Amino acid sequence: MDLGLKGRKVILTGGSRGIGRAALELFAAEGADVAFFSRNPEQVAEAVSSLQRHGGKVFGEAFELADPDAYRSWLVRAAEALGGADIFVHNVSSSGSGAGGDWNATLNLDILGAVHGVEALTPFLEKSDHASVIFLTSTAALETFLSANAFNALKAALITYAKQLSQALGPKGIRVNCVAPGPILFPGGNWEKIKAGRPELFEQTAAKMVHGRFGSAEEVAKSIVFLASPASSHTTGVNLVVDGGYTKRVQF
């Protein structure tokens, strides 16, 4: 299937490893131009080198989402470097730095990162004939999970914001969707650390998945790329769960 991504301009936050990195590789392989940031300069440099082999434009910088004005400026620079923006993927999260219990960090990264990102990029997205926004949420927002914390609660808020945003931006030709991964295993990720430090929790979690295993970053990334692409042009306001059957609730 041709996803219609050749020449599209993709801006993704937090993309040097894990799900974000896997999504960038797929976007670039489909012929899209990509821009991203991450906190680690070495990982950014390695990712840029890898993505450039696909032949499209690559704009990657070491950057930490802390100041809203600096973040907006970075997004505008990224869009200008690519020559526009067709797709915005908000992937950066407090979970990536192990701060999912920090309410301020999670609010600033997971919620306000989405809000400020959409505000900064809407003028560019409005000019696209297939504009798309993807927020990374989590199955932790859908069912009780481990503990009462900021990450779980604010990812639920992000789903509500995305649904409302899909109605507000739909008349402008901008689709807004979410992808909610379940427990995902990848090098350097939280579940790799849990596997080493709390193997009993790791095995209990794997046993709750109908496939009997954790998902991979690439499996989630494929869902992100399809949902963001023109091939999914009539889909908006959706929270797509990618969890190997981990969650058990019925979604109507």
> Given the structure tokens 């690439």, which residue do they identify?
218
Question: Is position 135 within any domain?
Answer: yes
Residue 100's pLDDT band (cuts 50, 70, 90): low
- Other Cβ atoms closer than 10 A to 233: 12
- Report whether pLDDT(101) > 80: no
What is the model's pTM? 0.94
pLDDT over 90, % of the chain: 73
The secondary element (H helix, E strand) that includes residue 14 is: none
> Which domain does 110 fall in, by range?
9-185+216-241
CATH number at residue 102: 3.40.50.720
pLDDT over 70, % of the chain: 97
Question: Is position 25 within any domain?
Answer: yes
Q: Are 114 and 43 in contact (CB under 8 A)?
A: no
Question: Is position 200 within any domain?
Answer: no
Q: Which H, E and C letters describe 48-86, residue by residue?
A: HHHHHCCCCCEEEEECCCCCHHHHHHHHHHHHHHHCCCC
Question: Is position 39 within any domain?
Answer: yes
pLDDT at 118: 98
Report the C-alpha gap between 23 and 27 in whole angstroms: 6
Pick the more confident residue, 199 or 221.
221
Pick the more confident residue, 15 or 10.
10
Residue 144's pLDDT band (cuts 50, 70, 90): confident
Question: Is position 92 within any domain?
Answer: yes
Question: Is position 191 within any domain?
Answer: no
Say how many domains are in the chain. Answer: 1
Question: Is position 206 within any domain?
Answer: no
Is residue 242 classed as helix, strand or coil in its secondary structure?
A: strand
Question: Is position 209 within any domain?
Answer: no
Instruction: List, for residues 200-243, the tens digit of each pLDDT value.
Output: 888 888 888 888 889 999 999 999 999 999 999 999 999 999 99
